[in-house]
Amino acid sequence: MRVCDHTPEQAEQCSLIVHYNGKCTVKTGPLDKLKRQCSQLLEAGLSAEIV
C-alpha cells in the first residue's frame, strides 16, 4: 500500500490475484516512477519487475 499508493481494497485484490495466478500488474505509469517503486518492492523482499 505504501509503495504503490494503493487503497486497502486494491492491495487485497492484488494479493488475491498473486495467490491464485502467481503474478499481478500492480502499477502502470512513467518509467522513472516505476523504477523507484520496483526498487522499493525488491528491498521489501517481494518479487517485482518492469515489463
Residue 49 lies in a domain: no
Write down the pTM of the prediction: 0.82
The number of domains in the chain is 1
Q: How confident is the model at residue 6 (pLDDT cuts 50, 70, 90)?
A: very high
Provide the pLDDT for residue 9: 97
Domain around 22 = 8-43
d(C-alpha 20, C-alpha 22), whole Å: 6
- Flag whether 35 is in a domain: yes
Nearby residues of 24 by Cβ (< 8 Å), 6 or more positions away: 14, 17, 18
